[in-house]
Structure 1
Amino acid sequence: MGMEAASSLPDTTHDYSSIDLLLERISNDTIALCNYLSLAQSARDNYAEMRSYRQLGFYFLNQYDFLRAIDYHTLYLHAAEKYDDPLKEVQALNTLAYDHKAACALDESSKYYFKALTILDQSPNNEEREMKSAKANSLNGIGNIYVEIDQTDEALAYLKEALEIETENGSIAGEAKNLKDIGTLFRKRTQYDSAHCYYERALKLFINENSLSEVALCFQDIGNLYMAEGDWESASVYIENAYNSLKNTSDKLNRSAISFSIADLYLRKGKWRDATPFLEEGQSLAEELQLPNQLEKAYRLLSEFHQQQGENLEALSAYAKSVAYGNRFRNGQSTGRIAAHQLAYASKAPQLQSVEKRETIISNPMLLYLVAFTGLAIILLQHYRLKKRMRKIESSFYMEKIKSEFYSHISDEFKTPVAIITGLIERVKEKMELNQINKISIDLDILSRQSKDLILLTDKILSTESADRQGIGNRTVHGNIIGFLTYLFESFSPLADSKKINYSFLSTIGELQMDFQPEILRSIFFKLIGNIIQNCRENETVSVELSRDKKNKNLTIIVTDTADCHRAHLQQNPFYHAKPNSTITSLPLINQLVKEINGSIDITSKPSKGTQFKFTLPVCNERVQNDKHAIFIHNSMIQNIGEEDNNTGNSIPERENPSLLIVESNKDIVYYLSSLLESSYQILTVDSGEKAIQQAIQIMPDIIIANIVLPGIDGSDLCKEIKKSDATSHIPVILLSAYGSKEERIKGIRCGADAFLSRPIHDEELLAVINQSLEVRRRMSSKYALTTLNSGNEKEHKKIKNEAAADFIKQITDFIYNLKISFKIPNSS
């Protein structure tokens, strides 16, 4: 039937309804759709071509093939632009925006929605019903994007405007959808009463429309609301009804979401056995869809599932995967670009309004006199409101840029413990099977430390989000602030010890009773001191000094460090956000928090003397105990756990096994890689690019593994230095990175890397890449050796026409034979 229907174009000179009806009939037959598209192109029927692209895109969208849906709907947009109808172009833009939103590419989605709004503002027919409906669609899409990225104020403005338009148009379905979305917004705000009100209004309209699928989705949202309130019984009623309505449909996305809702409900009630089938069903659908937000939810619930059964290693592994997928989802949000699209749209709006006003005045001269008396005041008021809104958008854009850089930085921090945990879990399992209990203790100790690191990183994200919304908790207490700051100092002692940093604390007063806000102080010093210590090198110094200015009634806190990694940046602008790997990534937030407690911060940096962060806090309700002595604490350096096991020395090893140089500043990653490879390779380790270059020249390792992010010379520059030297250019270099982006890989290839791996690293992949790199080098050495053996033959010399190439081959050959190195490639099995 589809082939016959698509065999010829209907005569539709003025009425396009027959084309739409035909395309609807063959909407599930891609062969018929493609044949019809070919006919439309042959007949140069722009409308039929445009609608064919649209229908093909919807077919693949319903199959959750987002890339092909986007491809066809991009062609739909191009055809709509040629059709020269603003309404058709806006509808195509909204469709393409929806595709990107479904694929979790929120920044791309917002670009098309804002472009649609720009065209609508320019159109002279923007008051027509269909144009207003398209505008409501765009506004709803943008509102939902802002809900996803937790910018609820912006989201509410867009959703309420969309609701108003749909209500005026008399669209019950559109009105209900916006009511439901506003309810979800209030649920995320924890304003549960308002959420109930909007959900109930939406549900009544969906029931009146007899839309069973939308009623089921509304049931799911209401059930999630009751679950957030802790009303398990009511939550069960709504969520189970939603599940029963959706379980036999082809809507995989919502089936996955409702399965997770039921699993989450049972897990919260402690009934992990009842949660099992729903968790398995949701995870299966999520794996099939490959959407990062669904996979993040799947592994988060799986982690809780294993934790309730006491399977801590499995829970930790699932949590690590949840974090990894969460980072992928947040990368797709790119909130900075969303704010940029909004800013670009807002900047065009006043120009369009000005043009419309000029046209109105010119067409009716009588209005000119009226505008002379009243219009100026209105224009000034609008200009003031616009400037105020633009400042708000620019401020939002700047804050989103800071958050984007923060998440980029913390993603790298997350991947380090995730990589170690994932690898060590497998190693612990293997050692347990081999009954090597004595070797498990170090692995478990590192697992414990990395688990705590994950918790601290999670707390860092939560504190950032909390500060962004409404400020960190401002609970005020009256107590001994010196004792509290001493406690905060001692929290970093293990970290300072593990990095061999001189870490000291000095207070000229033993006790100071005053009002202070512990949560804010905790956040300030955890962000500042934690970042400083993370970026310090061995034998550098970090000190904290407390003193009291009785005259001005201030408490002075001075944090000093001798690291120079952020000095250049501070000299430019200390309160502008730094690069992701900077010590002062959190400084803008720290500055904001200090102002919240009426304090001030001053930063000075001098060569060879270090950087000083000086905090001045007002002393309120002071009560000083003068008989208390001053406090001085100094944490001496201690040896890292497992360091003696990992340190093989940097003397030239015997060449029974190939030598492998690991260039990594993180001690746990070094331990993990060393323990993985030590049975087959002679392991050497250094913690910086400069040391790696020295070792490469002195010891001439057979292969180098280097992290991209290193203090001083980074991994890419290290690779360039290795490859440009005749003495070391033959050494294979494998680069590791927390970012698996295409740009990082291209950069690694351009700098001459033999392989590029992203963390978390898979043991088999790493071993295979090392073996292959050494095998390629062995074959090259054999080839050049054969060239040398035949060097006495004049004919062979004549084959090498390029004298420079011949000289270079001779240098390599002589070098290899002088070293007399024989390669022994380990068995990967």
Structure 2
Amino acid sequence: MPRVTLTAFVDEEALRKILTNLIHNGIKYADNHVHIKLLPFNSDDIMFNIEFRNDGEIIPFDKREKIFEPFYRLNESDKDTGTGIGLPLSRSLVELHQGSLSLVYTEEHRNIFLLSLPIFQEQSLDIKPFLEENYRTEERGMYTKEEEATEKPVILIVEDNKEILAYLNKELKINYTILRANNGAEALEILDRDNVQLVLTDIMMPIMDGIALCKRIKTDILYSHIPVIFLTAKNALDAKIQGLKIGADAYIEKPFSMEFLMVQLRNILNNRKIIKNYFTNSPSAHLAEINVSAPDKDFISLLNTVIYDNISDIDLNVEELAKLMNMSRPTLYRKIKGLSDLTPNELINISRLKKAAELLTQKEYNITQISTMVGYTVQSNFSRDFHKHYGMPPSTYIIEHSKQ
């Protein structure tokens, strides 16, 4: 019987990734033998099938779908340093081809992965956008104005493994604006030009590793307000202690649960928002009371002093404040936004109103005098802003405070 040549419509790069991952998976978990076989087909078939067999530990039937979940380990004690996303990525690429990838069972003591792909495609394949989105890292940083307008928290992922970087980007981009870097040096370039709310970084990377990056972030006044989460396979206790000593906010081991990572991200960002909201809405709360790192305490102390020393200056704005703080306007903006979730001008205005509330409770000055003392030239504007912020006019605030 003459041999039929198989000609199928596939994306070359995607198929190469699928086969590479399945071959690597078979070799990694085999005891002695791996067999790869193109199953028989004829000219009438609409699918072609490839089997990948190995004689390693048999995967339990109830785990046949779990193994396609990112970072899943069959044994909790498995400390293999692989990325843990080869099978999930392969299945995603197979499904884009309208095919299937599954673990099948026979009477033989073998793990058998069956790859089935259509010989023809009803529509032309366009795998390139999927691969570009998941693997391109040249366009790191500088999110677009459209993304900025969504007001999603901005997270910088620092990871030299492209597959893990792709997976994290895919899972997190729904709730966050994602910036990406391959090492600590690239991350610092992004931090210099973008307003980042949190850094999620690997530890072991070339050029500048995660420990060096975290140390730089936590000791540099330009970045010290940014939370850092370590996400790494380096799970030795001394590595964890070292990371936490230099100020890391959390330490998550690979393989990890995406749900657990999501909760950590949400908690860290929400806890900071609660503190910031308390400062904004509580008349007695001062900027200096925000719980921050040591470098930021000095910055906040100086910022607090500068603002209140110039509170009566009607021309006090972001440009003037930047000069007084000896900082560039963009740097001051990012720093204040990161610490207080306010723009510099919003912070100045709120500080004026907080000072006014303090003076009103002392009953040493009338409302007109106080409005001038906190930088207002028109009392009606002061009363309007005070009412908007505290929910009552200055005169009512005096009465309510007296009752308390």
Question: Could you tell me the TM-score, scaled by structure 1's length?
Answer: 0.24
Q: Which has the higher helix share?
A: 1
Could you say which structure has the larger radius of gyration?
1
